[in-house]
Amino acid sequence: MKTKKSLLIISLGLLVAAGVFAAGGSQSGAGAPGAKIAVTFAGTEGATAGQSRMMQEVADTLNATGRFDVKVYVAGALPGDTDNLVTQARLGVNLVVPSDPGRLASQFNIPDLNILMAPYVLTDYKVLEKLPQTALYKEWQAALEAQGVVLIADMFNGFRSFYTTTPVNKVADLSGLRLRGFGNAIGQALAKYLGYAQTTVNATDIYSGVQAKSLDGCEIQASTADSYRLYEVTKYLALSKHYMLQSSFVCGKALLDGMPQADRDLFVKTVYDAAAKYSAIIAQEEQGYYDGFKSKGMTVTEVSIPEFQRAIDSLYTNNDLKLTVGLKDRLFRELGL
């Protein structure tokens, strides 16, 4: 039943996307000489979130060249969750989708990708500048490309913390809470060791879930919490900063292969440069979001991060994420840490 439902969502998404691209007037690659290359960016975050603004800037830059017809859909405007959208891209729809390393690790069975978002492993967004030059990253890109997906760039998208309806001052306060988080291996492991009940719903449904009392909150990044106005329904923020969230921009291999080389180079460079630019912007804006939440009546608590780190130590001892032995040391060595 679940498989049929997933296929239905994917099929519906393909039909909708086909209609979107038809309205744009052209497909990538093949077509009349000089035809514009039609591409759609599809994300689930609200319009004001840094990720959404970044995609719009990419679209504006590419469209200004006259070679591209790029459209941007945010806040889940296209059917399907992130994994479904990535599947559509892999199947040949001209989509660029912001996923994340944890999702990609689970969806494409590359467990070592989890290291990029594993709790409290990477804690400085600036390391992402060096990441594409590492041998490890290139190996992950090759593994994804072998499955029909191209990883174009990783962008810092904020630290994820807990937004709740009851105060969270220490790890024990999470016990028994029903929180929306990642449904992948990373999300399940975090819930297991911090003691809350993991609930997976679309991010756009968090607000209504809290209102209906089916959720006690979520773990999410500040810009998205703000864009979804979660401060209206979750009055407490515990700054655990357990994940350094990254938006991994991916598209189907067919999309890039269908572009003339000059257009492909321009496309990849534009996405990569915008990701680097908005990583810094999002980092600069983050404290402003926290201050804004306080002004809107939220209680923002600086929890003891060492306590949270100790609580998830067993995640690595037990190797819940199935990481290759010595992977962290290799990653840090290649990053010069």
> Do 161-243+287-335 and 2-156+246-285 have the same topology in CATH?
yes
* pLDDT confidence of residue 34: 75
pLDDT of residue 9: 36
Q: How far is CA 279 from CA 124, 127, 134, 146, 158, in A?
A: 11, 11, 19, 28, 8
What amino acid is encoded at 135 in this protein?
A
- pLDDT for 23: 39
Q: Which residues of the chain have pLDDT under 70?
A: 1-33
- DSSP notation for 286-324: HHHHHHHHHHTT-EEE---HHHHHHHTHHHHHTTTT-PP
Which amino acid belongs to residue 276?
A
Q: Architecture of domain 161-243+287-335 in CATH?
A: 3-Layer(aba) Sandwich (3.40)
Give the pLDDT of residue 5.
37
Burial annotation 217-240 (CB, 10 A radius, 16+ → b, else e): bbbbbbbbbbbbebbebbbbbbbb
CA–CA separation, 207 vs 185, rounded Å? Answer: 24
Q: Structure tokens of 48?
A: 């004001």
Nearest to 225 by CA among 203, 243, 197: 203
Question: Closest Cα to residue 92, out of 244, 257, 216, 326?
Answer: 257
What is the rounded end-to-end Cα distance, in angstroms, of the chain?
A: 47
* Amino acid 80: pLDDT: 86
Q: Which fold has domain 2-156+246-285?
A: D-Maltodextrin-Binding Protein; domain 2 (3.40.190)
For 274-303, how does the pLDDT look when each residue is reduced to its tens digit (9 = 90+)? 999 999 999 999 999 999 999 999 999 999
What pLDDT sits at residue 32?
A: 57
Amino acid at 29: G
CA dist list (Å): 19 to 23, 28, 72: 6, 15, 14
3-state secondary structure of 154: strand
- The letter for the amino acid at 142 is A
Domain ranges, ordered by start, for the chain: 2-156+246-285, 161-243+287-335
How large is the C-alpha radius of gyration of the chain? 20
- One-letter amino acid at 221 equals Q
pLDDT at 202 (0 to 100): 87
Task: Report the distance separating Cα 222 and Cα 211, nearest Å.
Answer: 19
What is the model's pLDDT at position 200?
A: 87
Q: Residue 187, SS3?
A: helix
- Which residues contact residue 195 at a Cβ distance below 8 angstroms, ignoring those fewer than 6 apart? 171, 172, 174, 175, 176
